[in-house]
């Protein structure tokens, strides 16, 4: 009579599982498409919405927030209920959470393809969606903490700690990084400018990896690995230490994404130091995972689920070792901006996240459908195809990255650069092809899984509400007669929730901070001036088409880069850049000093047909820019937004802005006409040219910049 009967909610788990699979396929397809475009530019079908610059964010967002995101929720909703011996707090919340999240994903996909992006990697979604995410995340939090509160098991298993950490930190990161000022329904500018924006962005960017792709999955690993192997984790104490150590170090590794950039040295080194420190806890976790299977390798041999997990954990180990290595300045000098980074992240994504997700799917689906997996053999096939896929993906990319970096830095005996940028690209195209092959294989494996799971689902029937029973938590002291024992239990998670909200609130308060942020933006290089309205439009097009995804705007202080692109970048140059556009990958050359390098007509033709200007170029054609017109109605709003961000346009400039814009546009139009190119002054191409011709020219005005940084 004391025992409480209750039911686990498997329906939500099922929904999230399905979503995981669907979005996984979508995200991977997107990835495959853009990987092909790299050596087959025509594969963009001449449409904006299928062009690399727009599909790439869809790929990253779909994989991270849709595939892995739903994977996380699947794992959490399944394990949390069982770890707490309680149904999720509220079914409606679960429902809203699920559908809300899917809605966000869909709208994200649509808006990104439509070209609405903040231009900050992994945070591309525009402000309305950012708000939606915050809301749904809070609902999820309520649902999770509520469940923890009404749990029937006094001990919080280590996995739950990882989930809590995920929720709190992601909330904070998202809010801090998403400060932006909207100037239209779907568009906004980042609060921060240039260097500061970069720092915040990569502080976020790194932790998005840390707390969205790692901590929740570690929690999931700590639950599902022991379950699948049916043996307790190797060392529970180690897992606890693992958690607390990770929590206190991870936050600060961010800046290592900005080594050799215009970010102050001390901030860069800070990132390095903390990244190195991360090896310890990360490997603690990995070894704990692998040792759990010691003595059970015979099981691994026949159980595909364990196979997936072993590879996943190994990949985690590799990635977490490589990461700190990459954050060493001298390694980073080579790896950064190349495909090495791509390889690194995909070892993590395909191996750690992907494979662990598959393992969990293979484990959960039969459980909740109360039937054995349709075919172990198929699962094993999936495993081998997938593993082969990862290998075929990673190795060529490492190779490509290293080769290209070497070629970039190659000088002739006479001291001139040995290779044109384009040569370094064409040289590694075969590797790009192999990469696509790897991706294709991996995707094929996923389809095998889809078939296998459909068959399984057909065979079984959903155990929507799984019966369970457990005694309620005793309300009075059990051990060491602490009278207030239960009040601790109940009060603390609430308190944590409150505190976490406080942390979020702090984020809100900080919206007042920008005032002093802007103060710190006082021009340190006298000659650096705000963008003209036309250039601003051009810049927005640059962001919209995702140029930053292939072109960096950051010349690092290396001999080869200075020789290739020109004067290295100074922090002071970017104070009007909302958002910064430093980029993280050079599929095309750096554009930090593109201004004035070529005539307007060159840019015009290059956009129309890149290969005509630089034969063999892999850049797609952006013909539509020649026809589409810019929306000058938005100009005043843009100017006003910039003014609130402290960009020193004269008072009331927003009124005059369009006049100024047309004047400049006409100058360019005429200039083009002189090269026998006829086009309207209001076309996107004009604005883009205006911007490109401006980029990086300010400091050329004066021979030597007096003050830097």
Partner 1 sequence: MQKFTTSPVTPKCFHCGEDCNEEVLHAYDKDFCCGGCQMVFEILNRNGMCDYYSISTNPGTSRKIKVREDKFSFLDDAKICSSLVVFSNDSQTHISFYTPQMHCSSCLWLLENLHRLEPGVISSKVNFIKKEVDIVFDQRVTSLRKVAELLTSIGYEPYISFSDLGAKKTTVDVSKIYKLGVAGFCFANIMLMSFPEYLGIDSKEANLLYLFRYANLFLSLPVFFYSASEFYTSAWKSLKHRFLNIDAPIVVAVWVTFARSVYEILSGTGGGYFDSMSGIVFFMLAGRVLQEKTYRQLSFERDYTAYFPIAVTKINNEQPQTVALPDIQLNDTLLIHNEELIPADGIITRGKALIDYSFVTGESLPVMKEMGEIVYAGGKQTGANIEILVIKEVAQSYLTKLWNRKAETNKHDEERSFVHLLSRYFTIILFSIAAFTATWWFFTNASLMWNAVTAVLIVACPCALLLSNTFTNANILRRLGRNHLYLRNAQVIEDLAAADCIVFDKTGTLTTGRYQDMVYEGEPLSIHQKHAIGALAAQSNHPLSKAIAAWAGNTNGQMISGFTETPGKGIEGIVAGDLIALGSAFFITQKRTAGNDTSVVFVSIEEKVYGHFKFQNHYRDAIPELLQRLAKQYPLAVISGDNAGEQKYLRQLLGYEAILLFNQQPADKLEAIRHLQAQGKKVMMIGDGLNDAGALQQADIGIAISENNNNFTPASDAILAASQLPKLDRFIQLSKANKKVVLAAFVISVLYNLVGITFAVQGVLSPMIAAILMPCSSISILFITYGMSNYFGHRFRLK
Partner 2 sequence: MSVIIILLIASISVAALFLAAFIWSVKNGQYEDEVAPAVRILFDDATLVSAQKTNLSTEDTGGQKK
Q: Where on the chain is the footprint of partner 2 (CB under 8 A)?
A: 1, 3, 82-83, 85, 153-158, 161, 164-165, 168-169, 172, 176, 192, 195-196, 199-200, 203, 223, 226-227, 230-233, 236-237, 240, 244, 247-248, 251-252, 264, 267, 466-469, 479-480, 485, 488-489, 492, 495-496, 499-500, 502-503, 506-507, 510, 513, 516-517, 519-520
Choose the one of partner 1, partner 2, none that binds residue 618, judging by a C-beta under 5 to 8 angstroms depending on kind: none
CB of 176 to partner 2, least distance (A): 5
Neighbours of 512 (CB within 10 A): 8
| Closer residue to partner 2, CB minimum distance, 406 or 502 | 502
Query: Nearest approach, Cβ of 486 to partner 1 (angstroms)?
Result: 11
Asked if residue 269 binds partner 1 (CB under 8 A), the reply is yes
For the record, the structure tokens of 494 come out as 């609430």
Do the beta carbons of residue 129 and residue 190 sit within 8 Å?
A: no
Distance from C-alpha of 632 to C-alpha of 434, rounded to nearest angstrom: 45
Among 372, 430, 474, 616, binds partner 1 (CB under 8 A): 474
User: Is residue 2 within the footprint of partner 1 (CB under 8 A)?
Assistant: yes
If the CB atoms of residues 414 and 476 are measured against partner 1, the closer one turns out to be 476
Residue closer to partner 1 by CB (options 245, 634) is 245
466 binds, among partner 1, partner 2, none (CB under 5 to 8 A by kind): partner 2
Least separation, in Å, of the C-beta of 564 and partner 1? 28
Cβ count within 10 A of residue 480: 6
Which residue in 273, 450, 496, 503 binds partner 1 (CB under 8 A)?
A: 273
Q: Is 1 in the site for partner 1 (CB under 8 A)?
A: yes
- Backbone phi and psi for residue 683, each to the nearest 5 degrees, phi listed first: -75, 155
Residue number, 200 or 692, with CB nearest to partner 1 = 200
Identify which range of 205-213, 247-255, 581-589, 609-617 contacts partner 1 by CB under 8 A. Answer: 247-255
7 bridge partner residues: 467
# residues near partner 1 by CB under 8 A: 28
Q: Compare residues 265 and 627 and give the one whose CB is closer to partner 1.
A: 265
Q: What's the CA gap between 348 and 529, in Å, rounded?
A: 42
Cβ distance to partner 2 smaller for residue 51 or 169: 169
Paired strand residues for 468: 6
- What is the C-alpha separation between 60 and 30, in angstroms, rounded? 9
Residue 252 contacts partner 1 per CB under 8 A:
yes
Give the H or E element holding residue 465. Answer: strand 465-471
Of all helices (H) and strands (E), which one includes residue 473? Answer: none
Stretch that binds partner 1, among 128-136, 266-274, 360-368, 641-649 (CB under 8 A): 266-274
The span of 267-275, 411-419, 661-669, 686-694 binding partner 1 (CB under 8 A) equals: 267-275
**Token couple for 204:** 């976020």
Binding of residue 144 to partner 1 (CB under 8 A): no
Nearest C-alpha neighbor of 622 from the set 644, 603, 637: 603
Is residue 579 reached through a cis peptide bond, with omega within 30 degrees of 0 on the bond before it? yes
Output the furthest CA–CA distance in the chain (Å, rounded).
92
Interface with partner 1 (CB under 8 A), residue from 3, 506, 629, 670: 3
Which of partner 2, partner 1, none interacts with 476 (beta carbon under 5 to 8 A by kind)? Answer: partner 1
Q: Does 484 bind partner 1 (CB under 8 A)?
A: no
Cα 378 to chain centroid, rounded: 32
CA–CA distance, 160 with 238 (Å, rounded to integer): 15
Give the shortest CB-561-to-partner 2 separation in angstroms: 23
CA angle 575, 579, 583 (to 5 degrees): 100
Label each residue of 646-687 as H, E or C. Answer: CCCCCCCHHHHHHHHHHHHHHHHHHHHHCCCCCCCCCEHHHH
Eight-class DSSP state of 531: P
Map residue 330 onto helix, strand or coil.
Answer: helix
CB 346 within 8 A of CB 301: no
- Classified as helix, coil or strand, 520 is coil
Query: How do strand 3-9 and strand 188-190 relate by DSSP bridges?
Result: unpaired
Q: Which is nearer to partner 1, 172 or 536 (CB)?
A: 172
Choice between 484 and 633, CB closer to partner 2: 484
Report in angstroms how near the CB of residue 709 gets to partner 1 at its nearest: 6
In terms of residues, how long is the chain? 709
Q: Binding segment for partner 1 among 71-79, 269-277, 428-436, 499-507 (CB under 8 A)?
A: 269-277
List residues near partner 1 by CB under 8 A: 1-3, 154, 232, 244, 248-249, 252, 264-267, 269-270, 273-274, 471-474, 476-481, 709
């Amino acid at each position: 009579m004391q025992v409480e009967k209750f039911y686990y909610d498997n329906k939500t788990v099922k929904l999230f599982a399905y979503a995981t699979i669907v979005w996984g396929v979508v995200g991977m397809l997107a990835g495959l498409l853009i990987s092909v475009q790299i050596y087959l530019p025509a594969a963009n079908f001449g449409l904006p919405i299928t062009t690399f610059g727009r599909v790439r964010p869809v790929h990253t967002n779909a994989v991270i927030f849709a595939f892995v995101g739903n994977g996380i929720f699947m794992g959490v909703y399944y394990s949390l209920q069982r770890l707490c011996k309680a149904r999720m707090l509220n079914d409606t919340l679960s429902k809203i959470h699920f559908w809300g999240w899917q809605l966000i994903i869909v709208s994200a996909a649509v808006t990104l393809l439509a070209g609405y992006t903040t231009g900050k990697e992994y945070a591309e979604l525009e402000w309305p969606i950012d708000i939606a995410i915050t809301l749904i995340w809070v609902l999820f939090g309520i649902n999770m903490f509520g469940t923890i509160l009404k749990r029937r098991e006094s001990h919080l298993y280590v996995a739950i700690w990882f989930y809590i950490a995920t929720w709190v930190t992601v909330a904070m990161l998202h809010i801090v990084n998403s400060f932006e000022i909207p100037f239209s329904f779907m568009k906004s500018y980042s609060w921060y400018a240039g260097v500061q924006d970069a720092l915040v962005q990569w502080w976020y960017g790194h932790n998005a990896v840390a707390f969205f792709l790692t901590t929740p999955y570690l929690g999931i690993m700590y639950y599902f690995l022991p379950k699948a192997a049916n043996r307790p984790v190797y060392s529970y104490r180690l897992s606890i230490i693992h958690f607390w150590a990770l929590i206190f170090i991870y936050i600060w590794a961010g800046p290592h994404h900005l080594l050799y950039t215009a970010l102050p040295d001390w901030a860069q080194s800070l990132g390095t130091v903390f990244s190195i420190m991360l090896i310890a806890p990360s490997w603690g976790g990995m070894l704990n995972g692998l040792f759990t299977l010691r003595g059970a390798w015979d099981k691994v041999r026949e159980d595909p689920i364990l196979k997936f997990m072993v590879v996943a954990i190994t990949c985690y180990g590799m990635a977490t070792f490589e990461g700190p290595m990459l954050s060493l300045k001298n390694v980073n000098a080579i790896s950064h901006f190349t495909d090495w980074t791509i390889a690194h992240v995909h070892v993590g994504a395909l191996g750690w996240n992907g494979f662990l997700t598959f393992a969990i799917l293979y484990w959960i689906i039969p459980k909740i459908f109360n039937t054995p997996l349709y075919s172990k053999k198929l699962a094993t096939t999936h495993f081998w195809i997938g593993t082969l896929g990862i290998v075929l993906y990673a190795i060529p990319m490492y190779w490509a990255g290293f080769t290209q970096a070497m070629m970039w830095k190659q000088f002739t005996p006479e001291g001139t650069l040995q290779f044109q940028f384009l040569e370094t690209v064409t040289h590694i195209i075969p590797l790009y092809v192999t990469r696509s092959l790897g991706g294709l294989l991996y995707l094929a494996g996923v389809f095998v899984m889809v078939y296998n799971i459909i068959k399984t689902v057909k065979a079984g029937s959903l155990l929507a509400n799984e019966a369970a029973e457990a005694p309620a938590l005793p309300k009075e002291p059990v051990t060491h007669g602490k009278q207030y024992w239960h009040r601790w239990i109940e009060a603390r998670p609430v308190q944590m929730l409150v505190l976490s909200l406080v942390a979020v609130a702090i984020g809100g308060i900080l919206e007042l901070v920008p005032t002093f942020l802007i103060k710190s933006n006082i021009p340190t290089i006298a000659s650096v001036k705000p963008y003209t309205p036309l250039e601003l439009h051009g810049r927005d097009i640059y962001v919209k088409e995702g140029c930053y995804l292939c072109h960096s705007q950051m010349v690092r202080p290396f001999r080869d880069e200075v020789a290739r692109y020109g004067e290295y970048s100074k922090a002071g140059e970017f104070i009007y850049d909302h958002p910064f556009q430093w980029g993280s990958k050079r599929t095309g050359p750096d554009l930090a000093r593109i201004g004035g390098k070529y005539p307007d007509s060159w840019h015009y033709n290059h956009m129309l047909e890149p290969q005509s200007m630089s034969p063999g170029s892999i850049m797609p054609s952006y013909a539509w820019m020649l026809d589409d017109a810019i929306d000058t109605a938005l100009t005043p709003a843009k100017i006003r937004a910039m003014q609130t961000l402290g960009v020193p346009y004269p008072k009331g400039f927003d009124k005059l802005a369009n006049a100024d814009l047309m004047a400049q546009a006409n100058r360019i139009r005429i200039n083009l006409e002189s090269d026998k190119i006829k086009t309207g002054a209001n076309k996107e191409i004009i604005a883009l040219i205006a911007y490109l011709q401006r980029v990086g020219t300010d400091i050329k005005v004066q021979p030597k910049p007096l003050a830097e940084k």
